[in-house]
């Protein structure tokens, strides 16, 4: 990919992760070109954030379509007007069709609020608390047809605090997301991370496990662990 990776950000709601991208690009810490912010909801506050930052926006309401495939075809046609190199799902509350994923194979990123492969799906924070887990966090991964099952890139982990609620835990995880999501996307934009043959490669080596960043309970990064490099496959 080119140094200035043309990036489309897809949102359905408030767009807090989008704001993290806007802030990082704005201060020169992230070398992505935020080309367009797309939403399936015209009242999504993420569109306001984009306009305030001078980023073009586009919106197509999904309710006017009879099926997922027809909406996704229309969405793809609109996105292709900007010829994006990378698609960032930032609270985009739609399950993508197989055809859409194939069209942008290896170019769609998502962040899931759990330490994948544990806890795919919804209500992850309460499920972690109910299970009595000591660690929680969020995972950036490539998007495939398998929901929350694509190859992982970067994972932020933080300790669960005794007695906290699911909302309190969610807020701390979200703060970690705002750090790791732009960083992982930047790696992809720089060409350091790529999706090839259904797997993640980091600096040319297959990485079957995500890079792990460990944070303290206040959201301060403590350490980084790289997966063992495998250049034999």
For residues 140 and 107, what is the distance between their CA atoms, to the nearest angstrom? 13
Domain boundaries, the chain: 1-104, 111-233
Cα distance between residue 10 and residue 38, in whole Å = 5
Residue 16: enclosing H or E segment and its boundaries? helix 16-26
102: left (phi over 0), alpha (psi -120 to 50) or beta: alpha
Residue 222: how many other CB atoms lie within 10 Å: 10
What was the pLDDT predicted at 157?
Answer: 96
Among candidate residues 62, 112, 136, 178, the one labeled active-site is 112
In contact, 151 and 141? CB cutoff 8 Å: yes
pTM (predicted TM-score): 0.94
Q: Is 112 a catalytic residue?
A: yes
Which one of 3.40.50.170, 3.30.420.340, 3.50.50.60, 2.30.40.10 gives the CATH number of domain 111-233?
Answer: 3.40.50.170
Question: Backbone phi, then psi, for 172, in 5-degree steps?
Answer: -70, -40
What's the confidence (pLDDT) of residue 227? 58
Whether 219 and 136 have beta carbons less than 8 Å apart is answered as: no
* DSSP reduced 3-state for 70: helix
Cα–Cα dist 153/227, whole Å: 10
Q: Which tens digit of pLDDT belongs to each residue from 137-192? A: 999 999 999 999 999 999 999 999 999 999 999 999 999 999 999 999 999 999 99
Fold identical between 1-104 and 111-233? yes
Pairing of strands 211-215, 221-225: antiparallel
Quote the CA–CA distance of 58 and 149 in Å, as a whole number: 28
Find out whether the peptide bond into 20 is cis, omega within 30 degrees of 0.
no
Quote the CA–CA distance of 184 and 180 in Å, as a whole number: 6
For 160-184, the three-class secondary structure string (H helix, E strand, C coil) is: CCCCCCHHHHHHHHHHHHHHHHHHH
Summarised one tens digit per residue, pLDDT across range 14-59 is 999 999 999 999 999 999 999 999 999 999 999 999 999 999 999 9
Tell me the fold of 1-104: Rossmann fold (3.40.50)
- pLDDT per position as a tens digit, 50-87: 999 999 999 999 999 999 999 999 999 999 999 999 99
- The CA distance from 226 to 221, in Å, is 15
């Amino acid at each position: 990919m080119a140094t200035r990776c043309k990036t489309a950000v897809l949102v359905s709601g408030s767009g807090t992760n989008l704001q993290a991208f806007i802030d990082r690009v704005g201060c020169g810490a992230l070398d992505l070109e935020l080309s367009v912010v797309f939403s399936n909801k015209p009242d999504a506050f993420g569109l306001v954030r984009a306009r305030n930052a001078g980023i073009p926006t586009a919106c197509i309401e999904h309710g006017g379509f009879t099926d997922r495939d027809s909406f996704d075809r229309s969405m793809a046609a609109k996105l292709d007007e900007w010829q994006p190199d990378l698609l960032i799902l930032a609270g985009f509350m739609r399950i993508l069709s197989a055809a859409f994923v194939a069209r942008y194979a290896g170019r769609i990123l998502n962040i899931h609020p759990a330490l994948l492969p544990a806890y795919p799906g919804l209500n992850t924070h309460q499920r972690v608390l109910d299970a009595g887990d000591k660690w929680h966090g969020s995972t950036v991964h490539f998007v495939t047809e398998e929901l929350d099952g694509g190859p992982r890139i970067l994972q932020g982990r933080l300790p669960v605090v005794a007695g906290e609620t699911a909302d309190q835990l969610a807020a701390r995880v979200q703060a970690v997301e705002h750090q790791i999501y732009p960083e992982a996307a930047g790696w992809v934009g720089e060409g350091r991370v790529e999706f090839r043959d259904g797997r993640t490669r980091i600096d040319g080596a297959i990485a079957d496990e995500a890079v792990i960043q460990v944070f303290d309970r206040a959201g301060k990064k403590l350490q980084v662990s790289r997966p063992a490099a495998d250049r034999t496959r």
